[in-house]
Structure formats: structure tokens, C-alpha cells
């Protein structure tokens, strides 16, 4: 994570959060501070054992490593005295003796038994400092009543240790986002590719966390055989639930983008879903679905924290509403940034992204040097340009910033992947129709060279909206530079 200061503050405020202790230990270990790392791993207890595939060491086993760590830190900092080293060692051994035994990793899940709030020693730049946090006396908030698992997704690549940290970090971030305990939280893994994380329909379940409010037990399960060196349980039920969560997050990403673009253009939030799904030219979105119908009002409450919305019934409803399956009450959509389009003229790729999440990547036809570089926005969306679905512009067209350039279909599919247009961006019929549903009016479009990885990421089941309105424009003849 590269943020030990944040983690130190977090464990001060949440001394019983063993995942945080584990992550802080990994930070110290990466920086060569093995003494501090050992201390954190002891606090992490069963979480350490689950992800390191070994029991916590006994006092006799940890003593040589701890002394070696102290020697390294003395050489680096030259601030520690012999008396404080002995005192720290004595405290460490005392803590080791008091730690309860845990289940060995393997096919069984590792159960963490929470400790009662107590004064804890928190590693800082001077490890002898003892912190007594006032937050320790505060009661723990009861868990939110949620049916089924709550999902998130995270970059999951590199070595096993890096993957372990990524899974734990995303669980910690999800709990912070919700602001409450989650009975069941599940992380899906996205493959890192250059500057992006690849979003797909079949992202694997990589780690899950269950919290039992009645017993106070926490169950952490890795589903990555290589990372945990264990035989994970069957994840088919979780994968089935994830298969519903993934397209629903795409719908929410489209809806959220449309609402933000509408607000930017009109100076106010849309009054209803129908406001966004109007007939041409008011077709901010290409249609609607059940997810959008359920989520519009609570999402408006989440976004509209302004005098025009705050305090009314809509805001009250949105405070506790669940936008879609696999989400917690009040949880925002996974795609926190508006969807954008990136076009790379070097490798003939067009991608849909949200921040560093690469949602789709298509092969397109271009016009060589006639395709302009720069930043645009989709100013118009039209079905069947010039009244035809098989003409030179295909079945869909998306104009770029009121120019003569557009992203559109083509009646020359062999031109895809080549420089045969007069400057526009050509797509196959299936690709352009899916893109038309994914992106809204106002979507940012960036065209440049060498700005996308060479990847084609198109699912077998395309994103498609229903309840379509009339989006044709029979009163205009388009003369884009095809």
C-alpha cells in the first residue's frame, strides 16, 4: 500500500482490526524493519497465519529474528538504547504468551477471535511509544442488516504476497466506505495491464470475509490456491452472485455518468429517469433497465447533496436504500468516476474506462493522420443515421463536439483495424451498438497515440438497455467525414 502513516493511525483508532495490523506489518517488512513487522504480525494473529500459511512463531522461534530486526534498525537509526530493546523484547514475549491458539490454514477457514479493548503498543518512528487511544472505549456499531454477500473488485496481480495485500486492502477499503461492519464481503480480482485494471464478466472470487455479530468471530477465506497455499472451498455460489453484480454495476455506472453530465450541462439534477431517457435529442441514455429504475432516486440522493435536494424525502430514502444486488445500504456504485472513451490511433483500439478501470476495449477503423488527436465530448447520439441501419454510418452514430467527426458503424466491416475512413472512427455493428448503450451524451472522448494497451476485451453477452425511446433524427442528413 505504501502508506504506513495511514495504517499506523488506523490501528491506533481500531486496535482490534487484525487485517490492519497485518498490512502494517507488511509495510514494515518491505522497508526492512523486521522488529516492527514481527510485532504487527503478532497483533494480526490468525490473519497472519491465514495469509502466510504458517502458525505464529513461538517465543523461542521469534526471539532470534526479533533481535536481528532490532540490530538492523539500530544500524539505520542509531536511536535505540540497550535498555529499551530489552524492555521491548520483554513486552513482545509477554504478548506472545497471551495470544490464543488458532486453526492451521488449509481447507478449513481461519477463525479470528476478537480481543477485548485494551491498551496496545503501537509502532511509530520510536517503537517504545505506548498509545492509549480514546477510540478504544467507544462501543462497536452493530452490523448492518444485509442479505447475501457485498461485492467489490480490486487489482489482483503480481506475486502471492502482493495479491494477499491487495485482497486485504480492498476489504479494509470497502468497510471504510460503508462505515459499518459487513456480515459477508467478497473481493473479485481484476488483472492489472499497464496503467489499467481489466474489468471482465468473469472476474474470479479471490478473498471473502464473514463477521458473526452474535459470536464476534471473523472468518477470512482466500480463494487463491497459490496465494494461501491451501485448498479453497467451492466458490461457485459466490461466482454466480458476482455474475449478477457485474452487469448491474455497469448499469449504475451508465446512470451515474448520465446524471453527472446532465447536471453539468443543465445546471440542475434530472427530475426523473425519463428526463434522461427522452426521445432524440434528449436521449442522454439509450434506454433504461430495472437496475436504473430501482436506483435512480437513491442515487440522486447520494449525488444531490446540495440545497436543491438535501433534506427532502428523496435524500431520506437514499440514505438507507440498496441500489442493486451485492451492495450494502447507502453504498455508492463501484464506478466512482464517469465513463470515458479513449481511442488509440497506434493500435486501432477504442476503450471505455472509469478512472483506471478498463471496462471494454474494441478494435476500430480509423483515418490515419486524418483522424484528429485531442479531447472531445459526445454532443449527439442518433439511431440509424440518415434513416438507414446499413448505410455508410451503420446503425448508430455519436458525434464528437459538434464537429464533422463521429464514432459510428460502417457498411465496410473489412475496414476495421485499418486506415480507410476520412477521419471518423468506425466500429462493427455489435460493437457500436453496445458502445451506444454504455456511453451517454456528454461523455469525454480522448484520441491520441500510444495511450491504450493492446487488448480486445469484449464479452459474449453484450451490455444492452431495454425500454428504448425513439432516437432517430429523420430531419437531418449527416455528412460526417467517413
Residue 272 pLDDT exceeds 90:
yes
Gyration radius (Cα) of the chain, Å: 27
**Are the beta carbons of 432 and 413 closer than 8 angstroms?**
no
According to DSSP, the residues that pair with 273 across neighbouring strands are none
CA–CA distance, 292 with 299 (Å, rounded to integer): 9
CA–CA distance, 180 with 197 (Å, rounded to integer): 27
The pTM of the full predicted model, rounded to 2 decimals, is 0.75
**Are the beta carbons of 323 and 333 closer than 8 angstroms?**
yes
The torsion of the CA quartet 45, 46, 49, 50, rounded to 10 degrees, works out to -150
Q: Beta-strand (E) ranges in 43-87?
A: none
**Are the beta carbons of 315 and 309 closer than 8 angstroms?**
yes
Which class for 67: exposed (0-12), middle (13-18), buried (19 or more C-beta within 10 A)?
middle
CA–CA distance, 250 with 292 (Å, rounded to integer): 10
Q: Which residues are catalytic?
A: 408, 424
Average pLDDT in the chain: 81
166 band by pLDDT with thresholds 50, 70 and 90 = confident
Nearest of 101, 169, 180 to residue 140 by alpha carbon: 180
CA–CA distance, 280 with 475 (Å, rounded to integer): 11
The lowest-confidence range among 217-226, 372-381, 386-395, 400-409 is 217-226
Instruction: Output the pLDDT for position 71.
Output: 57
Instruction: Output the pLDDT for position 68.
Output: 59
Nearest of 315, 304, 407 to residue 365 by alpha carbon: 407
Instruction: Output the pLDDT for position 30.
Output: 79
CA–CA distance, 231 with 173 (Å, rounded to integer): 26
- Note the pLDDT tens digit of each residue in 419-460: 999 999 999 999 999 999 999 999 999 999 999 999 999 999
418 band by pLDDT with thresholds 50, 70 and 90 = very high
Higher pLDDT among residues 237 and 319, named by residue: 237
In the chain, the largest separation of any two C-alpha atoms, in whole Å, equals 88
Give the rounded distance of the alpha carbon of 325 from its chain centre.
16
Classified as helix, coil or strand, 341 is strand
Runs of H (alpha helix) within 31-58? 34-44, 46-52
Residue 234 pLDDT exceeds 60:
yes
Instruction: Output the pLDDT for position 461.
Output: 93
Amino acid at each position: 500500500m505504501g502508506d504506513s502513516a495511514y495504517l499506523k493511525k488506523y490501528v491506533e483508532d481500531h486496535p482490534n482490526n487484525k487485517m490492519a495490523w497485518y498490512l502494517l506489518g507488511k509495510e514494515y517488512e518491505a522497508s526492512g524493519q523486521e522488529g516492527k513487522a514481527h510485532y504487527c504480525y503478532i497483533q494480526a494473529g490468525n490473519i497472519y497465519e491465514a495469509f502466510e500459511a504458517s502458525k505464529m512463531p513461538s517465543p523461542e522461534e521469534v526471539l532470534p529474528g526479533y533481535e536481528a530486526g532490532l540490530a538492523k534498525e539500530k544500524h539505520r537509526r542509531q536511536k535505540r538504547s540497550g535498555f529499551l530493546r530489552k524492555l521491548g523484547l520483554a513486552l513482545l514475549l509477554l504478548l506472545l504468551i497471551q495470544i490464543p491458539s488458532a486453526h492451521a490454514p488449509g481447507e478449513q477457514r481461519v477463525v479470528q477471535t476478537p480481543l477485548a479493548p485494551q491498551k496496545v503498543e503501537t509502532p511509530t518512528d520510536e517503537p517504545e511509544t505506548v498509545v492509549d487511544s480514546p477510540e478504544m472505549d467507544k462501543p462497536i456499531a452493530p452490523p448492518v442488516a444485509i442479505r447475501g454477500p457485498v461485492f467489490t473488485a480490486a487489482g489482483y496481480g503480481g506475486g502471492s504476497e502482493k495479491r494477499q495485500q491487495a485482497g486485504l486492502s480492498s476489504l479494509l477499503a470497502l468497510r471504510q466506505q460503508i462505515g459499518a461492519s459487513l456480515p459477508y464481503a467478497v473481493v473479485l480480482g481484476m488483472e492489472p495491464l499497464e496503467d489499467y485494471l481489466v474489468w471482465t464478466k468473469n472476474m474470479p472470487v479471490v478473498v471473502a470475509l464473514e463477521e458473526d455479530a452474535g459470536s464476534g468471530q471473523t472468518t477470512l477465506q482466500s480463494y487463491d490456491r497459490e496465494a494461501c497455499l491451501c485448498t479453497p472451498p467451492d466458490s461457485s455460489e459466490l461466482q454466480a452472485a458476482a455474475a449478477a453484480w457485474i452487469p448491474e454495476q455497469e448499469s449504475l455506472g451508465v446512470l451515474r455518468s448520465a446524471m453527472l453530465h446532465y447536471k453539468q450541462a443543465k445546471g440542475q439534477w434530472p427530475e426523473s429517469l425519463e428526463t434522461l431517457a427522452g426521445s432524440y435529442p434528449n436521449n442522454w441514455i439509450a434506454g433504461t433497465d430495472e437496475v436504473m429504475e430501482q436506483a435512480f432516486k437513491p442515487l440522486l440522493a447520494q449525488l444531490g447533496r446540495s440545497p436543491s435536494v438535501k433534506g427532502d424525502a428523496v435524500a431520506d430514502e437514499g440514505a438507507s436504500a440498496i441500489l442493486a444486488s451485492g451492495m450494502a445500504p447507502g453504498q455508492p456504485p463501484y464506478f466512482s468516476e464517469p465513463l470515458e472513451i479513449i481511442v488509440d490511433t497506434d493500435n486501432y483500439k477504442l476503450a471505455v474506462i472509469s478512472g483506471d478501470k478498463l471496462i471494454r476495449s474494441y478494435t476500430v477503423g480509423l483515418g490515419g493522420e486524418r483522424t484528429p488527436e485531442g479531447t472531445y465530448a459526445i454532443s449527439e447520439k442518433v439511431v440509424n443515421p440518415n434513416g438507414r441501419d446499413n448505410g455508410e454510418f451503420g446503425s448508430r452514430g455519436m458525434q464528437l463536439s459538434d464537429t464533422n467527426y463521429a464514432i459510428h458503424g460502417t457498411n465496410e466491416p473489412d475496414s476495421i483495424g485499418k486506415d480507410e475512413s476520412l477521419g471518423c472512427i468506425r466500429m462493427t455493428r455489435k460493437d457500436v451498438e453496445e458502445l451506444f448503450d454504455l456511453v451517454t451524451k456528454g461523455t469525454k472522448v480522448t484520441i491520441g497515440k500510444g495511450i491504450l494497451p493492446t487488448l480486445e476485451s469484449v464479452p459474449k453477452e453484450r451490455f444492452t438497455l431495454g425500454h428504448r425511446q425513439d432516437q432517430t433524427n429523420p430531419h437531418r442528413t449527416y455528412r460526417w467525414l467517413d
